[in-house]
Structure 1
Amino acid sequence: MTHAVSSPSPASSTSTAAAGPERAPGVPTRPGGVAGPWQRAMMGWQRLRWQAGSLVSPAATARALERLWFCPPRAAANSAARRLLDSARTDWALVTGHGPSRRVRVYRWGDAGPVVLLAHGWGGHAGQWHAVVDGLVAAGMRVVAFDALSHGASDAGARGAAQTSVLEMSRSLLAAAWHAGPVDALVAHSLGGAATALALREGLPASAAVLVGSPADMHAACASLAWRMGFTPVVLARMQRQSERWLGVPWSAFNVPDVGRTRPVPPTLVIHDRDDKEVRWEDGAAIAGAWPGAQLVTTSGLGHRRILQDPGVIRRIADFIRPEATPACAVIPPALHGLAVD
C-alpha cells in the first residue's frame, strides 16, 4: 500500500466547491460545517424529539428516519460548474429494468485518449468536477460525467425526485458507462465511491479506479447518524428492514471493503483527507486495506470537497490512470511531497 501526505495548494484553498454539502440529512450547520449556538440548540431539540418518537411511535419514527436517509440535498451549480456543463457535449442514457425507463443526463469532454467516467456523490452533480475535467482533458483523456437519478438534470428516481439511494446511483453509473462505450477508468467522489463499488460488483469492466473521500459501510454510517440524532436501535433496525423490501437487497450489500474481498477489482487509488469532516479517513483506509493492491493517498487540509480542486490531487489521479503519460524524471507536485511507501 502506498501512502502519501499532502498539504493544500494556494489555488485550492481559495476556491469553493461546485456541489453543495454532502452532510448528514436533518443536521443543520453553518457554512463550513461549524454549528453555532442556535444550530446546537435546534440539534438538541431534534434529538429529544426523535428519542421521544422512538419510544411513543417507533413505526412512524422509522418512516421518518427512512425519509431523511434517502432524501438527497439539492445543490445549486456555481459559475465554474455552469461553465463546465455549458462546454460539454450532452445526451441521455437510460436506466431500464426497474419500472419505466428513466433518463440520466450524460456530459462529455475531449476527443481522444482513454475514457474516464466520473461519479459524483450524494446531492452532487456533474458540475462539481470542473477542475478534474480540465486536468484530465489537458492530460489527453476523454472525460464522461453524469447526473444520477434524482440529481442535477436527470429524471427522478423510482420513488420520486425527493428520494433515491446508492443502489439507484449505481444503476445510473452503469447506464452512463454502457452508453458512453468502453470505459477505461472510473473516478468517484464520496457516495459515488460506494456506487462505483456496486457497479464493479455487477461486472462493470475498468482498468483503473480512483475513490476520493468514499465511505466504507452504509450500515455503519446510518447507525452513526441515527445515534447522533437520537433514534433508538429498535427504530434503526425497523427502518432498515422496511427499506430492504423496496431496495431488493440487504444493507450488508453496501459494504465497500467487502466488494474487494469477494470480487475482482481493478487497480485502485484511494484518496482521503485527514480533515474530512463528512467521511472519516478511516473509511478510506479500510477500503484501501481490503482491496488487493490498492494505494492509499492521504491529504491534509483539503476536507471533503476542496480535494476535488487541488492541482496535486488532480495530477495524481491523471498519473494513476495514465502512468505512461508521466516522464520518469517528472517532478512531484509540491502538494504531494512526503511520499512514503509502506
Structure 2
Amino acid sequence: MSSKIYFKQGQGQKYQRKVINWVTRLHHRLAPSHARKVARNLFLTPDRFDRGVVEPEGLVKASIETAEGKLMTYRLGRGPVWLLCHGWSGASSQFFTLMAHIAKLGYTALAFDNIAHGESAGSHAHLPGFIAALNCVLDQEPDITGVVAHSMGSAMVLESRHPQLAGKPILLVAPVLNYTENLLISVEKSGYSMRLFDEVVSEVADEYGYPLADIDPQQQLKRHRAPVVIVHDRGDRFASFSLSEEAAALPHVTLVATEGLGHGRIMQSEPLMQAFDGLAEQITPLPLVG
C-alpha cells in the first residue's frame, strides 16, 4: 500500500477523511472499473527508497530472474549466508551498515530489493508478492544460515513456508506483527472507501491464493522452531512495540528494546549489531576472520 496511507499517523482531519470517503465511494459507484484501477495504484504502489546511501567496498550487485520479475541482489563478504529482507517502501541499501558488520565477522550478507522496490523491476507490490519473491530468491540460493528482516519484511519472512527457513534463526527489526490489523486500521483512518480496498485485496488474494484473513505473523512466530531476536524501539510510530513485548514471552524469542531510534534509524544502530552477534553465537561460534 502507498506509504501515504501505510505510514499515515494520528487521527488526521476528520473533515478531510469524510471528503475522501465520499469522493471515493461516489467514484466507485459511477465508474467502478476506473475506481478499482485508481485504488490499485494507490494501495499497491510503494515509494522507491532513494537516500543516496554509500555502497560498502566489495559489494557485488546482480539481478536474478523470478516469477515476480527481475530482482536486484546485493552480496557482501564470504562464508555462511545471512539473508536480509527490507520492508514496505524500503530497499537493501538500508542494510548496508549491517551488511558490512556481518561481512567483517566472516559471513556473507545477501540482500535483495523486493519487487517494485529499490532497483528491482515492477510498479505494484503487496505481501503475497513479497512472499513469492522471497521464495524465488531462496530457490536460487543453495543454503542460508539465518535471516534478518525489517518492518513488513518481518511479516514476509514469518509467512513464508519455504523449507530453507525452517529451523533458521531470525533477527526481526521493528516487526509489523499485526500486519492485517495494522493495514485495515490505516486504510480506515485514511477515509478511503473500504469497499474499494476490499475489491483490490480480493483481486490479489485470488491471483496468489492468499486471502488477507490467512495472514497472521504473530501465529507464525509462535510456531517457529528456532531462536528469534527482536530489536524494537519503544517509541516506534509505525510498528507496535507492545506486540514485540508480548512476543518476548515466548521461550524462543528475545527482545532488545531501544530508545530514541524510531522505525528507521534503528537499522544502523549499535544495538542491532550487538543483537546480530548474540543471535549468531547462539547457533554457532562466530567465524574466525584472518
TM-score, length of structure 1 as denominator length:
0.72
Q: State the 1:283 CA deviation.
A: 3.4
Show the counterpart of 2:59: 88
Q: State the alpha-carbon separation in 2 of the partners of residues 239 and 152 from structure 1.
A: 24
Instruction: Identify the range of structure 1 (217-226 vs 189-198) with the bigger mean alpha-carbon deviation.
Output: 217-226
Select the residue among 2, 9, 19 that pairs with 1:49. Answer: 19
Provide the identity percentage: 20
Question: How much does 1:248 deviate?
Answer: 2.4
Task: Provide the rounded CA distance (Å) in 1 between the counterparts of 2:108 and 2:241.
Answer: 30
1:239–1:155: structure 2 CA closer, same or farther, 3 Å change rule?
closer
State the secondary structure of the residue aligned to 1:153: coil
Tell me how far 1:27 sits from its aligned partner.
7.7
Aligned equivalents of 2:251, 2:4: Cα separation in 1: 33
Counterparts in 2 of 1:212 and 1:53: CA distance versus 1, 3 Å: same
Q: How big is each residue's C-alpha offset from its partner over 1:149-169, in whole Å with a ceiling of 9 and x where there is no partner?
A: 11112121xxxx1x1112222
1:211 correspondence with 2:198: no
Q: Matches of residues 171-182 of structure 1 in structure 2 within 5 Å?
A: 171-182=132-143
Q: What is the CA-CA distance between 1:44 and the residue it aligns to?
A: 5.3
- State the match for 2:254 in structure 1: 295
The 8 Å contact of residues 117 and 177 in structure 1, kept in 2 or not, is answered as no
Taking structure 2 as the reference length, the TM-score comes to 0.83
**Aligned ranges 1:302-317 → 2 under 5 Å:** 302-317=261-276
Change (3 A) 1:222 1:258: same
Partner of 1:168: 129
Name the counterpart of 2:72.
105
Which of the numbers 79, 102, 114 marks the counterpart of 1:136? 102
Deviations 1:301-341 (A, max 9, x none): 11001111111221111221234547xxxxxxxxxxxxxxx
Three-state SS of the structure 1 residue aligned to 2:170 is strand
Cα distance in 1, alignment partners of residues 265 and 159 from structure 2: 25
Give the Cα separation in 1 of the matches to 2:262 and 2:159: 25
2:5–2:186 CA contact under 8 A, matched in 1: no
CA deviations 1:267-309 (Å, max 9, x no partner) are: 21122111111112123335445x6622222212110011111
Q: Which amino acid aligns with 1:129?
A: F
CA RMSD of superposed structures (Å)? 2.9
In structure 2, runs of 5+ residues without a counterpart are: none
The answer as to 2:112 corresponding to 1:151 is no
Structure with more relative contact order (C-alpha pairs < 8 Å, separation 6 or more)? 1
Distance 1:132 1:304 in 2: 15
Structure 2 counterpart of 1:107, one-letter code: Y
Tell me which of 152, 158, 166 is aligned to 1:197: 158
Q: 1:77 to 1:295 in 2, by over 3 A?
A: same
